[in-house]
Amino acid sequence: MKIVMVDLQAQYRRLRSEIDEAMQEVLHSAQFIRGPQVKEFSDALSRYLHGAYAVPCGNGTDALQIALMALDLQPDDEVILPAFTYAAAAEVTHLLRLQPRFVDAGEDFNIDVAKIEEAVTSKTKAIIPVHHFGQTSKMDAILNMAQKHNLFVIEDNAQSLGADYFSAEGARKAGTIGDIGTTSFFPTKNLACFGDGGAMITQNQELAKKLAMIANHGQQKKYYHEIIGVNSRLDTLQAAVLKTKLQYLDDFNHRRRTAADQYDFRLKEISEIKLPVRNAHSSHVFHQYVIQTEKRDALQKFLADNEIPSMIYYPLPLPFQPAYQNARYKKGRFPRAEKLSAAVLSLPIHTEMNEAMVDYICDAIVKFFKTKS
Ligand SMILES: *Cc1c(COP(=O)(O)O)cnc(C)c1O
């Protein structure tokens, strides 16, 4: 059986007629930049997110940069970030001459809310919780902390679009809870286009205007530049693809969750594997299915020998990356992030996964632990 991490080819084959038609429309109109599909998509995304403003841009990293630019932070202001995460948030923080303050991971792979306060100083102005692998961070605790210390909250929602966050206020969509949410439509994300794409999300109309302006060279009126901006656009072709696929996002996420449930069921008997924690405060859209095991490297090799791919997200916590370290951090400073980096393994999960595939992968994993234990 042929197993891949993410089956983009099979998903395209299944949705081909609709997607081709949407793309053909753009090709015939030749409005490749700022065509009507861009607004149609952002309006549809806004409706999907219960009415929050959605501002499209070039990719998920730009979305984070533009979000930070819109908050008018000053050089050396501090931004709190998870230690265990993808590079994007730390990268744009440094680019804007802001200072990252890293916080260790919790059980659920997201920022450990119990450790945020000790990272706050008089210079801290913002926090970027990253909603890892498909479920939200503990937003109530984060919002309380933000209110207490007057911090902006930017949710990096590149991996959890469509997840619901449950609190006393009811269910809210991931990415619509903080001041700004950001997301990515990179081809392997839960809602994905055929290249790069991204968006910023906010409940605040003024902020939405400012985000759109920054993404468009700081102008509202052409050739009149009010603030410093960047060039970060979602192409019309990508918007046409996304508009078509957005209708299937809940179904995509359901398919991922079904595969995750089957993994849980098959792997729960293996004492040497820790299954992904599922938070009660969030639904899970399983961007990744991440197990932990002390035999991670040997398991990955065994799977590879059996032509089953797997990935390590993330192999080195950000504070220890040569590009971001401020020389302050010693080994052992982020115990959970360091432990996770040595133990996590992402198994194949995608919208075209079927029971036979999950069984095939789990049979191999069971066999590994039977023979190596
Ligand atoms: C994918 C991703 C990004 C960056 O998105 P791009 O569109 O590739 O720039 C940022 N943060 C997280 C957590 C991601 O997974």
360 found inside a domain: yes
Predicted confidence at residue 329, as pLDDT, reads 85
Predicted confidence at residue 104, as pLDDT, reads 98
Indicate whether residue 86 lines ligand 1 (CB < 6 A). yes
Range of the domain at 113: 8-246
Residue whose CA lies nearest to ligand 1 atom number 3 = 60
Indicate whether residue 186 lines ligand 1 (CB < 6 A). yes
Task: Check whether residue 86 and residue 231 sit in a common domain.
Answer: yes
Can you give the chain as a three-state secondary structure string?
A: CCCCCCCHHHHHHHHHHHHHHHHHHHHHHCCCCCCHHHHHHHHHHHHHCCCCEEEEECCHHHHHHHHHHHCCCCCCCEEEEECCCCCHHHHHHHHCCCEEEEECECCCCCECHHHCHHHCCCCEEEECCECCCCCCCCHHHHHHHHHHHCCEEEEECCCCCCCEEEECCEEEECCCCCCEEEEECCCCCCCCCCCCCEEEEECCHHHHHHHHHHHECCEEECCEECCCCCECCCCHHHHHHHHHHHCCHHHHHHHHHHHHHHHHHHHCCCCCCECCCCCCCECCCCCCEEEECCCHHHHHHHHHHCCCCCECCCCCCHHHCCCCCCCCCCCCCCHHHHHHHHHEEEECCCCCCCHHHHHHHHHHHHHHHHHHC
For a ligand 1 pocket test, name from 65, 66, 85, 86 the mutation site with the most ligand atoms within 8 angstroms of its C-beta: 86
Q: Which of residues 222, 246, 270 is at a domain's end?
A: 246
Query: How far away, in angstroms, is 182 Cα from ligand 1 center?
Result: 9
Indicate whether residue 82 lines ligand 1 (CB < 6 A). no
Predicted confidence at residue 191, as pLDDT, reads 98
3 found inside a domain: no
350 found inside a domain: yes
Task: Check whether residue 171 and residue 79 sit in a common domain.
Answer: yes
Indicate whether residue 184 lines ligand 1 (CB < 6 A). yes
Residue whose CA lies nearest to ligand 1 atom number 2 = 158
Predicted confidence at residue 326, as pLDDT, reads 64
Indicate whether residue 161 lines ligand 1 (CB < 6 A). no
Task: Check whether residue 265 and residue 206 sit in a common domain.
Answer: no
141 found inside a domain: yes
pLDDT tens string, the chain, 373 residues long: the values are: 999 999 999 999 999 999 999 999 999 999 999 999 999 999 999 999 999 999 999 999 999 999 999 999 999 999 999 999 999 999 999 999 999 999 999 999 999 999 999 999 999 999 999 999 999 999 999 999 999 999 999 999 999 999 999 999 999 999 999 999 999 999 999 999 999 999 999 999 999 999 999 999 999 999 999 999 999 999 999 999 999 999 999 999 999 999 999 999 999 999 999 999 999 999 999 999 999 999 999 999 999 999 999 999 999 999 999 988 765 788 999 999 999 999 999 999 999 999 999 999 999 999 999 997 5
Predicted confidence at residue 324, as pLDDT, reads 82
Q: Which atom of ligand 1 is nearest to the CA of 131?
A: 13
